[in-house]
Amino acid sequence: MNADDMNTTSATTAHDSDTTWTGMVAVDDTALAVTDTGGPGIPVVYLNGAYASTRHWQRVIAELGPGYRHIAFDERARGKSKRATDYSFEACMRDIDAVLDARGVERPLLVGWSYGALLGVHWASRNPTRALGVVGVDGPYPVGWTDEAGHDEIRKVFKRMKPLMPLVRPLGLAARFSAETHADLAIESHLLHAALEPVLDGITVPVRYVVASGEAVGSRDDLQEQMRKAIDPLLARNPNLKVSAKVGSNHGSVLRKDSRAVAVVVREVAALERPGR
């Protein structure tokens, strides 16, 4: 990476009556492509799926409209962001902090899809006085493969996908790193999901779920529905957790087909904000 890649650069475009900032935010040995619509509205920070880019949020942002400050960014080696040497979950957590610091955001409302929802609840758990709340779009669910047989299956899947990765990157199904790194991140994600229960039990900010009801392509039996049911005991124990919407789409299509429902739940969490909270 050259020195120019590490600079925080910006460009502005018209966004209704506000000014949209687009640029690169430096963090560690990389730089993230960030868009911030600005304005006085509640800052909504969008957290992508594991290999996705900000393009998946376009419909949700359009549904919410200009009354909010929309901040979206591509994770490392996704979308327009640069490659890095570290793609771990903790690196992603540092990226959230870097974007918030660079854009001067104190109290965000975090909206995450899939892996992004896992990032959102962990960030809120670590920053309970700063997080306005979290909207989890079909996630996070406290279940994951922790056995070596399951991890071997993940490795085999990504090995088979390797030739297809350049083709599926535009769909948010792959990033610009190796198939082996994809597998490592998926395994880490499974372990983090399996250990999620204490995080959700202890979270003190509003967390609202948008739960998809369809089975994803390639999912076996009713595996995803069983994953979704894993939050039921947590909903009973922690009043800060709530399923606000259950929609008919599946995990991969929820942002495209049910963007309106996601926007409704974002408004629900935003309405919980009170002066002095």
To 5 degrees, how large is the angle CA 267–CA 89–CA 214?
A: 50
Euclidean distance between CA atoms 138 and 250, whole angstroms = 9
Which band of pLDDT confidence, cut at 50, 70 and 90, is reported for residue 213? confident
Would the pTM of this model clear 0.85, i.e. be above it?
Answer: yes
Average pLDDT over residues 170-181: 92
Q: Is the pLDDT of residue 162 over 50?
A: yes
Instruction: Count, in order, helices (H) and strands (E) of the chain.
Output: 12, 9
Selection from 86, 89, 73 nearest residue 35 by Cα: 73
pLDDT tens across 52-64, in order?
999 999 999 999 9
pLDDT, residue 69, reads 98
Which band of pLDDT confidence, cut at 50, 70 and 90, is reported for residue 1? very low
Could you give the 3-state DSSP secondary structure of residue 214? strand
To 5 degrees, how large is the angle CA 97–CA 99–CA 100?
A: 65
Tokens of 150: 């399951």
Euclidean distance between CA atoms 12 and 23, whole angstroms = 9
What Rg, from alpha-carbon coordinates, does the chain have?
Answer: 18
Which band of pLDDT confidence, cut at 50, 70 and 90, is reported for residue 14? very low
Say if residues 40 and 21 touch (Cβ distance below 8 Å): no
pLDDT tens across 82-95, in order?
999 999 999 999 99
Tokens of 106: 């104190």
